[in-house]
Amino acid sequence: MATIIDGVKVAAEVRGRAAEEVRELAAHGVTPCLAVVLVGDDPASASYVRMKERDCAEVGIESRDHRLPATTSQQELDDLIDALNADPAVHGILVQMPLPEHLDPESVIERIDPAKDVDGFHPESLGHLVRGLPGFRACTPAGVMEMLRAYDIDPSGMRAVVIGRSTIVGKPMALLLLEANATVTLCHSRTKDLEAVCREADLVVAAIGRPKMVDASYIKPGAVVIDVGINRTDEGVVGDVDFAAVEPIASAITPVPGGVGPMTRAMLMANTVAAAHSAAPRGQG
Protein backbone atom coordinates (compact mmCIF):
# COMPACT_ATOMS: atom_id res chain seq x y z
CA MET A 1 0.00 0.00 0.00
CA ALA A 2 1.46 3.29 -1.10
CA THR A 3 1.58 6.54 0.81
CA ILE A 4 -0.97 8.79 -0.85
CA ILE A 5 0.69 12.15 -1.42
CA ASP A 6 -1.97 14.67 -0.47
CA GLY A 7 -1.63 17.66 -2.78
CA VAL A 8 -4.58 19.43 -1.19
CA LYS A 9 -2.85 19.38 2.19
CA VAL A 10 0.59 20.40 0.93
CA ALA A 11 -0.94 23.14 -1.21
CA ALA A 12 -2.74 24.52 1.87
CA GLU A 13 0.61 24.60 3.69
CA VAL A 14 2.22 26.47 0.77
CA ARG A 15 -0.64 28.98 0.72
CA GLY A 16 -0.36 29.34 4.52
CA ARG A 17 3.34 30.22 4.23
CA ALA A 18 2.56 32.64 1.40
CA ALA A 19 -0.15 34.29 3.54
CA GLU A 20 2.37 34.76 6.36
CA GLU A 21 4.75 36.47 3.95
CA VAL A 22 1.92 38.65 2.70
CA ARG A 23 1.35 39.84 6.28
CA GLU A 24 5.06 40.63 6.65
CA LEU A 25 5.03 42.58 3.38
CA ALA A 26 1.90 44.45 4.51
CA ALA A 27 3.82 45.72 7.51
CA HIS A 28 6.09 47.44 4.95
CA GLY A 29 3.18 48.81 2.95
CA VAL A 30 3.48 46.26 0.11
CA THR A 31 0.49 44.23 -1.13
CA PRO A 32 1.47 41.53 -3.66
CA CYS A 33 -0.58 41.93 -6.81
CA LEU A 34 -1.22 39.44 -9.60
CA ALA A 35 -2.65 40.63 -12.91
CA VAL A 36 -4.68 37.87 -14.52
CA VAL A 37 -5.35 38.19 -18.25
CA LEU A 38 -8.03 36.05 -19.87
CA VAL A 39 -8.70 36.38 -23.58
CA GLY A 40 -11.92 34.87 -24.93
CA ASP A 41 -14.59 32.85 -23.22
CA ASP A 42 -13.24 29.30 -23.03
CA PRO A 43 -15.15 27.88 -20.02
CA ALA A 44 -12.24 25.74 -18.76
CA SER A 45 -9.88 28.76 -18.85
CA ALA A 46 -12.48 30.93 -17.13
CA SER A 47 -12.84 28.35 -14.39
CA TYR A 48 -9.03 28.14 -13.91
CA VAL A 49 -8.90 31.91 -13.65
CA ARG A 50 -11.69 31.96 -11.04
CA MET A 51 -9.82 29.37 -8.95
CA LYS A 52 -6.61 31.39 -9.15
CA GLU A 53 -8.45 34.53 -8.08
CA ARG A 54 -9.98 32.66 -5.14
CA ASP A 55 -6.51 31.49 -4.10
CA CYS A 56 -5.28 35.09 -4.28
CA ALA A 57 -8.12 36.24 -2.03
CA GLU A 58 -7.31 33.52 0.51
CA VAL A 59 -3.61 34.36 0.61
CA GLY A 60 -4.13 38.14 0.68
CA ILE A 61 -2.79 38.79 -2.82
CA GLU A 62 -4.62 41.45 -4.79
CA SER A 63 -5.78 40.03 -8.12
CA ARG A 64 -6.51 42.32 -11.03
CA ASP A 65 -8.79 40.82 -13.54
CA HIS A 66 -8.35 41.69 -17.24
CA ARG A 67 -10.97 39.94 -19.36
CA LEU A 68 -10.59 40.61 -23.05
CA PRO A 69 -12.90 39.53 -25.87
CA ALA A 70 -11.89 36.67 -28.20
CA THR A 71 -11.51 39.28 -30.96
CA THR A 72 -8.66 41.06 -29.14
CA SER A 73 -5.78 41.82 -31.52
CA GLN A 74 -2.13 40.99 -30.85
CA GLN A 75 -1.45 44.73 -30.64
CA GLU A 76 -4.14 45.24 -27.99
CA LEU A 77 -2.81 42.33 -25.93
CA ASP A 78 0.78 43.56 -26.32
CA ASP A 79 -0.30 47.02 -25.17
CA LEU A 80 -1.95 45.59 -22.07
CA ILE A 81 1.16 43.57 -21.21
CA ASP A 82 3.35 46.65 -21.70
CA ALA A 83 1.09 48.60 -19.34
CA LEU A 84 1.21 45.83 -16.72
CA ASN A 85 4.99 45.58 -17.09
CA ALA A 86 5.26 49.31 -16.43
CA ASP A 87 2.87 49.36 -13.46
CA PRO A 88 4.95 49.15 -10.23
CA ALA A 89 1.88 47.99 -8.27
CA VAL A 90 1.68 44.80 -10.37
CA HIS A 91 4.15 42.13 -9.23
CA GLY A 92 3.05 39.15 -11.30
CA ILE A 93 1.44 38.76 -14.73
CA LEU A 94 -0.43 35.66 -15.74
CA VAL A 95 -1.84 35.27 -19.23
CA GLN A 96 -4.18 32.27 -19.20
CA MET A 97 -3.37 29.78 -21.95
CA PRO A 98 -4.48 28.66 -24.46
CA LEU A 99 -4.99 31.91 -26.33
CA PRO A 100 -7.37 32.17 -29.30
CA GLU A 101 -5.73 30.86 -32.49
CA HIS A 102 -4.92 34.24 -34.02
CA LEU A 103 -2.72 35.26 -31.08
CA ASP A 104 0.89 34.15 -30.73
CA PRO A 105 1.52 32.63 -27.29
CA GLU A 106 5.32 32.72 -27.67
CA SER A 107 5.48 36.45 -28.30
CA VAL A 108 3.09 37.05 -25.40
CA ILE A 109 5.24 34.99 -23.03
CA GLU A 110 8.39 36.78 -24.18
CA ARG A 111 6.78 40.19 -23.76
CA ILE A 112 6.15 39.70 -20.05
CA ASP A 113 8.82 41.33 -17.89
CA PRO A 114 10.88 38.37 -16.57
CA ALA A 115 10.70 39.98 -13.10
CA LYS A 116 6.90 39.47 -13.25
CA ASP A 117 6.96 36.06 -14.94
CA VAL A 118 5.24 34.17 -12.12
CA ASP A 119 4.29 31.30 -14.46
CA GLY A 120 7.99 30.70 -15.11
CA PHE A 121 7.48 30.32 -18.88
CA HIS A 122 9.70 33.21 -20.08
CA PRO A 123 12.90 32.14 -21.86
CA GLU A 124 14.92 34.03 -19.24
CA SER A 125 13.26 32.06 -16.43
CA LEU A 126 13.90 28.81 -18.29
CA GLY A 127 17.49 29.89 -18.99
CA HIS A 128 18.02 30.56 -15.30
CA LEU A 129 16.67 27.10 -14.52
CA VAL A 130 19.09 25.50 -16.99
CA ARG A 131 21.98 27.48 -15.50
CA GLY A 132 20.93 26.73 -11.90
CA LEU A 133 20.41 30.43 -11.15
CA PRO A 134 17.60 31.81 -8.98
CA GLY A 135 14.45 32.69 -10.86
CA PHE A 136 10.84 31.72 -11.31
CA ARG A 137 10.26 28.01 -11.79
CA ALA A 138 7.24 26.78 -13.73
CA CYS A 139 4.48 26.16 -11.20
CA THR A 140 3.62 22.52 -11.98
CA PRO A 141 7.12 21.03 -11.74
CA ALA A 142 7.94 23.35 -8.82
CA GLY A 143 4.79 22.02 -7.13
CA VAL A 144 5.96 18.44 -7.65
CA MET A 145 9.31 19.25 -6.01
CA GLU A 146 7.47 20.86 -3.08
CA MET A 147 5.32 17.73 -2.64
CA LEU A 148 8.39 15.51 -2.61
CA ARG A 149 9.99 17.75 0.04
CA ALA A 150 6.81 17.69 2.14
CA TYR A 151 6.89 13.87 2.15
CA ASP A 152 10.67 13.67 2.77
CA ILE A 153 11.26 12.04 -0.60
CA ASP A 154 14.77 13.06 -1.62
CA PRO A 155 15.40 12.48 -5.35
CA SER A 156 19.17 12.60 -4.83
CA GLY A 157 20.71 9.49 -6.38
CA MET A 158 17.34 8.21 -7.60
CA ARG A 159 16.73 7.10 -11.15
CA ALA A 160 13.94 9.38 -12.28
CA VAL A 161 11.93 9.02 -15.47
CA VAL A 162 9.81 11.93 -16.70
CA ILE A 163 7.30 11.05 -19.42
CA GLY A 164 6.44 14.12 -21.48
CA ARG A 165 8.76 16.84 -22.76
CA SER A 166 6.59 19.95 -22.88
CA THR A 167 8.13 23.29 -22.00
CA ILE A 168 5.66 23.88 -19.19
CA VAL A 169 5.92 20.51 -17.47
CA GLY A 170 8.25 17.77 -18.76
CA LYS A 171 11.42 19.70 -19.57
CA PRO A 172 11.50 21.91 -16.45
CA MET A 173 10.53 18.84 -14.37
CA ALA A 174 13.56 16.95 -15.68
CA LEU A 175 15.82 19.93 -14.95
CA LEU A 176 14.49 20.37 -11.40
CA LEU A 177 15.02 16.67 -10.67
CA LEU A 178 18.53 16.94 -12.11
CA GLU A 179 19.16 19.96 -9.88
CA ALA A 180 18.02 17.74 -6.98
CA ASN A 181 20.70 15.20 -8.03
CA ALA A 182 18.45 12.56 -9.56
CA THR A 183 19.68 10.64 -12.59
CA VAL A 184 17.06 11.72 -15.08
CA THR A 185 15.67 10.17 -18.25
CA LEU A 186 13.24 12.28 -20.25
CA CYS A 187 10.81 10.24 -22.36
CA HIS A 188 8.30 11.15 -25.05
CA SER A 189 6.17 9.66 -27.79
CA ARG A 190 9.21 8.36 -29.73
CA THR A 191 10.82 6.62 -26.76
CA LYS A 192 11.38 2.95 -27.54
CA ASP A 193 10.13 0.42 -25.02
CA LEU A 194 8.85 3.06 -22.64
CA GLU A 195 7.59 0.47 -20.18
CA ALA A 196 11.04 -1.04 -19.73
CA VAL A 197 12.62 2.42 -19.32
CA CYS A 198 10.05 3.31 -16.66
CA ARG A 199 10.49 0.00 -14.84
CA GLU A 200 14.11 1.04 -14.10
CA ALA A 201 12.92 4.14 -12.28
CA ASP A 202 12.75 4.86 -8.57
CA LEU A 203 10.63 7.89 -9.41
CA VAL A 204 8.22 8.24 -12.35
CA VAL A 205 6.59 11.53 -13.31
CA ALA A 206 3.82 11.15 -15.88
CA ALA A 207 2.97 14.33 -17.84
CA ILE A 208 1.49 12.91 -21.00
CA GLY A 209 -2.19 13.72 -21.34
CA ARG A 210 -3.27 10.10 -21.96
CA PRO A 211 -5.84 8.77 -19.49
CA LYS A 212 -4.50 5.95 -17.28
CA MET A 213 -1.72 5.09 -19.76
CA VAL A 214 0.82 4.25 -17.06
CA ASP A 215 -0.27 0.92 -15.61
CA ALA A 216 1.48 -1.56 -13.33
CA SER A 217 3.70 -2.81 -16.17
CA TYR A 218 5.57 0.55 -16.10
CA ILE A 219 6.30 0.59 -12.41
CA LYS A 220 9.06 -1.03 -10.36
CA PRO A 221 7.76 -2.19 -6.97
CA GLY A 222 8.44 0.53 -4.41
CA ALA A 223 8.76 3.37 -6.91
CA VAL A 224 7.39 6.85 -6.27
CA VAL A 225 4.75 7.81 -8.85
CA ILE A 226 3.76 11.39 -9.60
CA ASP A 227 0.76 11.85 -11.89
CA VAL A 228 0.60 15.27 -13.55
CA GLY A 229 -2.08 14.29 -16.06
CA ILE A 230 -5.51 15.90 -16.04
CA ASN A 231 -7.81 14.16 -18.48
CA ARG A 232 -11.53 14.76 -18.69
CA THR A 233 -13.25 11.46 -19.48
CA ASP A 234 -16.75 10.00 -19.21
CA GLU A 235 -15.81 8.71 -15.77
CA GLY A 236 -14.69 12.20 -14.66
CA VAL A 237 -11.19 13.67 -14.33
CA VAL A 238 -8.48 11.00 -14.38
CA GLY A 239 -4.69 11.15 -14.48
CA ASP A 240 -2.12 9.60 -16.80
CA VAL A 241 -1.60 6.83 -14.26
CA ASP A 242 -3.97 3.94 -13.66
CA PHE A 243 -4.16 4.66 -9.93
CA ALA A 244 -6.00 1.48 -8.92
CA ALA A 245 -3.42 -0.71 -10.69
CA VAL A 246 -0.31 1.18 -9.61
CA GLU A 247 -1.10 2.15 -6.02
CA PRO A 248 -0.64 -1.40 -4.63
CA ILE A 249 2.96 -1.58 -5.94
CA ALA A 250 4.20 2.00 -5.56
CA SER A 251 5.74 3.31 -2.32
CA ALA A 252 4.07 6.69 -2.77
CA ILE A 253 1.66 8.06 -5.35
CA THR A 254 -0.28 11.23 -6.09
CA PRO A 255 -4.03 10.96 -6.74
CA VAL A 256 -5.93 12.79 -9.48
CA PRO A 257 -7.70 14.95 -8.54
CA GLY A 258 -6.13 16.15 -5.32
CA GLY A 259 -2.49 15.67 -6.26
CA VAL A 260 -0.40 17.88 -8.52
CA GLY A 261 -3.28 20.15 -9.61
CA PRO A 262 -3.70 22.03 -6.32
CA MET A 263 0.09 22.35 -6.06
CA THR A 264 0.33 24.16 -9.39
CA ARG A 265 -2.06 26.84 -8.16
CA ALA A 266 -0.33 27.11 -4.79
CA MET A 267 3.08 27.63 -6.42
CA LEU A 268 1.61 30.49 -8.45
CA MET A 269 0.77 32.17 -5.14
CA ALA A 270 4.27 31.48 -3.82
CA ASN A 271 5.84 32.90 -7.00
CA THR A 272 3.68 36.03 -6.82
CA VAL A 273 4.69 36.68 -3.22
CA ALA A 274 8.34 36.10 -4.19
CA ALA A 275 7.94 38.63 -7.02
CA ALA A 276 6.57 41.19 -4.55
CA HIS A 277 9.52 40.53 -2.22
CA SER A 278 12.00 41.09 -5.03
CA ALA A 279 10.25 44.28 -6.13
CA ALA A 280 10.09 45.73 -2.61
CA PRO A 281 12.73 48.37 -1.95
CA ARG A 282 15.74 47.11 0.01
CA GLY A 283 14.85 46.37 3.61
CA GLN A 284 11.14 46.01 2.85
CA GLY A 285 10.36 42.39 2.51
Residues 74-133 that bind ligand NDP (CB under 6 A): none
User: Which of 194, 267, 274, 275 is in the footprint of ligand NDP by CB under 6 A?
Assistant: 194
Residues 55, 117, 119, 202: which is the catalytic one?
119
Given candidates 45, 85, 185, 231, which one binds ligand NDP under the rule CB under 6 A? 231
Query: Kind and range of the H or E element at 278?
Result: helix 260-279
The C-alpha atoms of residue 10 and residue 282 are separated, in whole angstroms, by 31
Q: Does position 192 bind ligand NDP by CB under 6 A?
A: no
Cβ-based nearer residue to ligand NDP, 261 or 285: 261
Question: Which range of residues in 47-55, 84-92, 174-182, 223-231 is near ligand NDP by CB under 6 A?
Answer: 223-231
Q: What's the CA angle centered on 167, arms 200 and 243, to 5 degrees?
A: 45
Would you call 234 a catalytic residue per the annotation? no
CA separation (Å) from 15 to 7, 29, 91? 12, 20, 17
Residue 119 among the catalytic residues:
yes
Q: What angle do CA 131, 133, 134 make, to 5 degrees?
A: 150
- The H or E element that residue 271 is part of is helix 260-279
Catalytic residue among 55, 96, 116, 242: 96
Catalytic, 192? Answer no
**Residue among 145, 144, 91, 86 at smallest CA distance from 274:** 91
Q: How far apart are CA 197 and CA 262, in angstroms?
A: 29
Asked if 147 interacts with ligand NDP (CB under 6 A), we say: no
The residue whose Cβ lies closest to ligand NDP is 166
CB of 228 to ligand NDP, least distance (A): 4
Closest contact distance (angstroms) between CB of 101 and ligand NDP is 17
